[in-house]
Structure 1
Amino acid sequence: MAITAGLSAAAASAPMSVFAEDEQILIQSDFEAGIGLPWYALETEPARQDFDISDGTYNVEILNNDGPESRWDLSLRCKDLVIRKGHTYKVHWEVNSSKEGEMYTMIGNNSGVVEVWHNNSGNDNYNQTWECVKIAKGDNTFDAEFTAKEDIDNAIWEFQYGGQGVYQPHDCFPNGTVLKFDNLSLIDTTGGYSIDSDNNDWGVVRPESNVRLNQIGYYPQLEKRASYVTDADKPLDFEIRDRSGNVKYTGKTKVFGSDPDSGTGKTTTVKIGSQIVTRLKDSGSNVHIIDFSDFKTEGTYTIFVKDTVGVNGTQVMNSKNANDTKLSGDKLLWRNPVTMKTYTMNESSTFRIDRNIYDDQLLKDSINYFYQNRSGVPIESEYITSGDKSALAHSRYGHNLDMAYVQSKWYKSYSSDFSEGEKDKQIDVTGGWYAASDHGKYVVEGGFSVWTLQNAYEFSKRRGNTRKWTDGTIAVPENKDNAPDILDEARVELEWMFKMINEDGFVYHSVQDHKWAGFPITPWMDDTQQGFEPVRIVRPPTYAATFNMIACAAQASRLWKGIDDDFSEECLQNAQNSWKAIMAKQSNWDVNRGYHYKDPYFAPSEYGVNNIFGDTYVVDDAYWAACELYATTGDADYYDFLKDYKNCNDPSGQDKAFSLTSCLRGGENDRSFGSFNWGNTAGLGTLSLYLSDKTSSADRKTIANSIQNIADQYLIQMSKEGMGIPYKSMTTEDYIGGDKPEFTGYEYGSNSFVINNAMVLAYAYDTDNGKYIYRNGAA
């Protein structure tokens, strides 16, 4: 089940009291601010819907009502409600429909097993209102009142309007129907319970300061720049203050000007692809650059900008003045309309100037992410490096054993009872890391992460400084063994990947639940809480997953040699065996684009239930795998294969052997401004060759030149950005509904692009004639 939620930059809505009579317990009722959360649209493939929040209504369009089960395959849901037994509630809801039909609406628990109200029922007719509410074409308004007979701590209010199925003899609405929800109200007339808005902004997403900087900090001897957003068009004075508020440095900002990626500073009409779009002013008109590079004293500081202009005349959806600041003394204030917290927008968050900004807490916490996502084991507080350790730790865990049914075909969706699923073969896939979005475990996503961790160690090893990987900086249960801790963490995922190798030497693509739960759950949550029994499935083997395992195993083999020789040999054997198996099918995968319906070893790109991590071009993965095998063995056969690599799908011509690119076209990317990610892996092989002692001096020089060339492109882009990042927005097409609307902005995973591109800058500094400017860019 896919989940989408309406988000916006800001809102203007009244705060809610914690206790009150006749209390409105919904945080969003009229959508005037363009915010959906905590309402969100859900769909179960192949049922599809599109949504937007505009003109004060939450609008959904039914694209395909033919889901796998019933009317609940398409729905609109509000989460995190608290319902109390014996309390009386008044319900009001309005919907405008472009066509007549019907829908089922209920308030109950997440799974739908418990309902306290449905279909406008009252206290005396609950059992007589199981049929859907009839919806006329045009405006519809409904009111009801009920007394709850159950306590529900995490209740939902849901509208269901999908196709025919269980309990639903016909489609709720025909395809193409547009439903506009408005003025949704749930009032507790008894009082006492509401959604807590004090610490949850529910979609009011905006910076807490207009001074944007590196919140981790700056090196004393390197460049130090921050950005400030304001309507002021003249340079402004700024101060750097220590913890006690003492001024330690003063300077003047430099006006950079407008920067669309930093916000819309002026209401304007723009053409995006074939569409004409009006963008409302939602930010300051100008970005100012704050340069304090010559301030080198170590310590903890804030930046204060002396600005009396601030930001005015903004609008987000229907909310006028949404992001405006208010001058109070020398401070420019902005109040979050949901949490009611007030922020000083011309003062930065704290930051450090320090020689060790990246090798202490940031390093600990970033690697600790993987430990906390380990599957099938308890997570112990002594190995958690940040946050509320007692809350994050858990002795309960799921998926041990993690037994999953192997699927030989790509199913777009499964019914709740898994009746159409294959149950002929079950394998043990215990271990590894959970993905970021669910309790699935994905070889191609995990493979990229394994390479990143192992590469960090190999880079350090080449520079002769691996102390931080062995001195206890990294918190893992394996701290006391003789291996580098970062390799220990990568090994957790790598050993799971070995369990995914089938009898033919190919690697299964992923393991996951057969259906989305549709709401946050823990791995050990029981079936009654989910509303269905999740069946663990293993997706078919793929070329991409197989090459990922080969590459990571070959890389691991050389790094573990001399530490654990048995494991080193196991890694190499797995890599070489699978390489032999997949090369026997080279004519099948060495193509410009593969299709899963012709060859199931290609993972489909857009395929419904859960994540897939589709990849229809895998020659880049083959190059990566060959590079890793060559860097480990020095075998000429691998070199003969990799030296001829060239990505025919890359319009820039940069994606080729011994090179990096800045134009990714593969996996789920189409001309993205980056050098590598999980779906475009050739760059990983090139960087491994750069580090390898088996690479010839000529090839290494070619690689170094390419690294510097791409790094120069990132530096140029940084100079064009008001925020100074090595990344830019892109225009892409959304194929939902078949009409290919175009969108421009930062793509999914944009933060990872920034980090990966910064890695290229770091490598450029490492080259024989690396310039100091690359180090500044990476830092």
Structure 2
Amino acid sequence: MTIYRKSIVGQGIATILTAGLVVGCVTTGNSSTAKKEELSNNSQSKQSESGELLQNPQFKKGEESWWVSGGQLAVKNGEACVNITQPGSNNWDVILGQGGLGLENGQSYQVNFTARSSVETKFKALIQHDGAPYTGYFNEDISVGPTAKTYSFNFTQKEPSDAKTGFQFQLGAQKKADICFSDVSLKGKSFKKEVIIPTVHVNQIGYFPKAEKIATIKSDSKEPLAWQIKDANGKIILTGMTTVFGLNKSSGESVHKADFSKLTTPSKEIVLVVNGEASHPFRIADDIYTELKYDALAYFYQNRSGIEIKPEYVQRADLARPAGHPNETVTCFNKTDAKGNKWPGCDFELNVSGGWYDAGDHGRYVVNSGISVWTLLNLYERSLWIKDAKVPFADGTQTIPETNNNVNDLLDEVRWNVEFMMAMQVPNGKKVTVPEGDQSANLNQLKLTEIDASGLAFHKVADEKSTACHYHHIKIQWIVLFFIQRHLQH
């Protein structure tokens, strides 16, 4: 069962951060100059001398390199059509887009595309920074109808060079329609931020004094190379020769290996130098992973809903943020869903403030967070029954508001989500409408049945529309839990 927020937050949602991530798709406008031409379907647009920046611009490879949200995408005969049945209330509620682009300051760019629609409607064509604060570099309002037209625009990038930009057709907040695109093009000089990667690769965190210490060196040399370990003052403390490994199939690089396991003395700010190239500084110590479990548990605090994340409890000032959804009173979904099913809602409300946000959006889930709760509690309980095991996260060891309250800090953090889970329970005597049994083969015509749901729990609370832009939804909690358990004893 799902409950949805009674009031859906609009553009203001972009100011709310989740674990250091800003979510929302707010466009800040067009900061570049643009010249517009509207051509007939048979006209030829002027070709730029610079290269094509878009991948698969003619849709010859189907949907490859493009993403869509809020609609259904179908590609046929070089034309990509987005079926829009739920236009939403924001332009970004329906998007066809592509990321991975780069614009250079002072350079000129040309945008071309052909578009048609099943009905007379409008949309936005834009290029913006692909992430907060979504700075706009190109933004044009387009009117489109059943007759296909080719549109051409020229603009100059006046903002600083940006290696992380995205091209989008924002199709939301308009009519239900099928909007089709072909011959999409963005031409100009591509900007790529140069990243200098050392050829000498080490564990940047460090190595245990008595553990094996292996470094990888990118080199085409067929002969071993001399290496040196230097301390913070540049003094050579160990030397040796690399071993030629050859082709690393995973990276496609020819590499050498350097084994400096003989170095067992605790050290800080040391580097490995091979053939004149130095590694990142690293250290040798017994406590290289000691702080990792605390950083991992800190994720849960930073991902809390319903509470201000204060600077004194986070590692960096930019991780602090106002409270998200501080007083969350919700009811059952009572509208038509994306598949056309009409949900009747229910006659009660729940205050479900608190809990942990799931990932990059503002959804909170009983199942996902419940697994995290169990894992953390199991970590605590395990220490009570294993001989000589140290109880993890004793009171006062974690930087959270509840610290020094005579309760284990791990239990303090878990309680924040347990109370949310309890708040998601259906009150005694209340009824809700649900699809009973396996109806996955008929999602467009669900059979809904009213049941007495006393004591059952809703599985999530979320906005009607996602408050995040297109992203790969990673279950971060699983990654965090792995690190907490793996390195607990270090």
Q: TM-score range by the shorter chain?
A: 0.5 to 0.7
Give the one of 396, 409, 423 matched to 1:499. 423
**Aligned to 2:296, what secondary structure does the other structure show?**
helix
**Separation (CA, whole Å) in 1 of partners of 2:147 and 2:378:** 60
**Aligned to 1:478, what secondary structure does the other structure show?**
coil
Give the one of 484, 487, 498 matched to 2:408. 484
Structure 2: gaps spanning 5 or more residues: 1-31, 35-49, 58-64, 159-164, 429-453
Q: For the structure 1 residues 755 and 428, does the alpha-carbon distance in structure 2 shift closer, same or farther, using more than 3 Å as the test?
A: closer
In the alignment, which residue of structure 1 is the partner of 2:306?
376
Instruction: Say whether residues 1:48 and 2:73 are aligned partners.
Output: yes
Kindly indicate whether the alpha-carbon contact (under 8 Å) linking 2:363 and 2:463 is maintained by their aligned counterparts in 1. yes
**Separation (CA, whole Å) in 1 of partners of 2:189 and 2:469:** 22
Cα-Cα RMSD: 5.2
Instruction: Say whether residues 1:214 and 2:141 are aligned partners.
Output: no
Instruction: Say whether residues 1:446 and 2:453 are aligned partners.
Output: no
TM superposition score normalised by structure 1: 0.42
Q: For the structure 1 residues 145 and 374, does the alpha-carbon distance in structure 2 shift closer, same or farther, using more than 3 Å as the test?
A: closer
In the alignment, which residue of structure 2 is the partner of 1:710?
none
Deviations 1:380-430 (A, max 9, x none): 22222x22x2x3323x32312112233499944799xxx978364432111
Kindly indicate whether the alpha-carbon contact (under 8 Å) linking 1:220 and 1:295 is maintained by their aligned counterparts in 2. yes
In the alignment, which residue of structure 1 is the partner of 2:169?
159
Q: For the structure 1 residues 115 and 392, does the alpha-carbon distance in structure 2 shift closer, same or farther, using more than 3 Å as the test?
A: closer
Kindly indicate whether the alpha-carbon contact (under 8 Å) linking 1:49 and 1:62 is maintained by their aligned counterparts in 2. yes
Deviations 1:250-288 (A, max 9, x none): 223333333333x2x2xxxxxxxxxxxxxxxxxx2x233
**Separation (CA, whole Å) in 2 of partners of 1:45 and 1:755:** 32
**Separation (CA, whole Å) in 1 of partners of 2:268 and 2:146:** 60
In the alignment, which residue of structure 1 is the partner of 2:226?
237
In the alignment, which residue of structure 2 is the partner of 1:93?
111
Give the one of 45, 57, 62 matched to 2:80. 62
Deviations 1:507-550 (A, max 9, x none): 32211111023449xxxxxxxxxxxxxxxxxxxxxxxxxxxxxx
**Separation (CA, whole Å) in 2 of partners of 1:64 and 1:225:** 51
- The offset of 1:352, in angstroms, is 1.8
**Aligned to 1:48, what secondary structure does the other structure show?**
strand
Kindly indicate whether the alpha-carbon contact (under 8 Å) linking 2:72 and 2:84 is maintained by their aligned counterparts in 1. yes
Q: Which is further off, 350-359 or 450-459? A: 450-459
In the alignment, which residue of structure 1 is the partner of 2:447?
none
**Separation (CA, whole Å) in 2 of partners of 1:171 and 1:464:** 66
Instruction: Say whether residues 1:429 and 2:450 are aligned partners.
Output: no
In the alignment, which residue of structure 2 is the partner of 1:172?
179
Aligned counterparts, 1:500-515, within 5 A: 500-502=424-426, 503=428, 504-515=454-465
Deviations 1:53-76 (A, max 9, x none): xxxxxxx97365244228973423
Q: Name the amino acid aligned to 2:140.
A: H
Structure 1: gaps spanning 5 or more residues: 1-21, 51-59, 83-88, 120-128, 149-154, 187-196, 266-283, 308-329, 332-346, 521-608, 612-747, 767-778
**Separation (CA, whole Å) in 1 of partners of 2:481 and 2:245:** 24
Deviations 1:547-598 (A, max 9, x none): xxxxxxxxxxxxxxxxxxxxxxxxxxxxxxxxxxxxxxxxxxxxxxxxxxxx
In the alignment, which residue of structure 2 is the partner of 1:181?
185
**Aligned to 2:272, what secondary structure does the other structure show?**
strand
In the alignment, which residue of structure 1 is the partner of 2:246?
257
Q: Name the amino acid aligned to 1:359.
A: T
- The offset of 1:243, in angstroms, is 1.7
Q: Name the amino acid aligned to 2:217.
A: Y
**Aligned to 1:65, what secondary structure does the other structure show?**
strand
**Separation (CA, whole Å) in 2 of partners of 1:754 and 1:377:** 21
Instruction: Say whether residues 1:517 and 2:448 are aligned partners.
Output: no
In the alignment, which residue of structure 2 is the partner of 1:118?
140
Q: For the structure 1 residues 751 and 369, does the alpha-carbon distance in structure 2 shift closer, same or farther, using more than 3 Å as the test?
A: closer
**Separation (CA, whole Å) in 2 of partners of 1:64 and 1:378:** 39
**Separation (CA, whole Å) in 1 of partners of 2:87 and 2:152:** 27
Instruction: Say whether residues 1:457 and 2:380 are aligned partners.
Output: yes
**Aligned to 1:256, what secondary structure does the other structure show?**
strand
**Separation (CA, whole Å) in 2 of partners of 1:221 and 1:380:** 40
Return the structure number with greater relative CO, CA threshold 8 A, min gap 6. Answer: 2
Which is strand-richer, 1 or 2? 2
- The offset of 1:211, in angstroms, is 3.2
In the alignment, which residue of structure 2 is the partner of 1:142?
152
**Aligned to 1:496, what secondary structure does the other structure show?**
helix
TM superposition score normalised by structure 2: 0.63
Q: For the structure 1 residues 484 and 92, does the alpha-carbon distance in structure 2 shift closer, same or farther, using more than 3 Å as the test?
A: same
Deviations 1:686-730 (A, max 9, x none): xxxxxxxxxxxxxxxxxxxxxxxxxxxxxxxxxxxxxxxxxxxxx
**Separation (CA, whole Å) in 2 of partners of 1:180 and 1:108:** 13
Instruction: Say whether residues 1:291 and 2:217 are aligned partners.
Output: no
Instruction: Say whether residues 1:393 and 2:314 are aligned partners.
Output: no
In the alignment, which residue of structure 1 is the partner of 2:272?
304
- Residues paired across the two proteins, number: 391
Q: For the structure 1 residues 178 and 143, does the alpha-carbon distance in structure 2 shift closer, same or farther, using more than 3 Å as the test?
A: closer
**Separation (CA, whole Å) in 1 of partners of 2:221 and 2:403:** 53
**Separation (CA, whole Å) in 2 of partners of 1:81 and 1:298:** 44
Q: For the structure 1 residues 471 and 225, does the alpha-carbon distance in structure 2 shift closer, same or farther, using more than 3 Å as the test?
A: farther
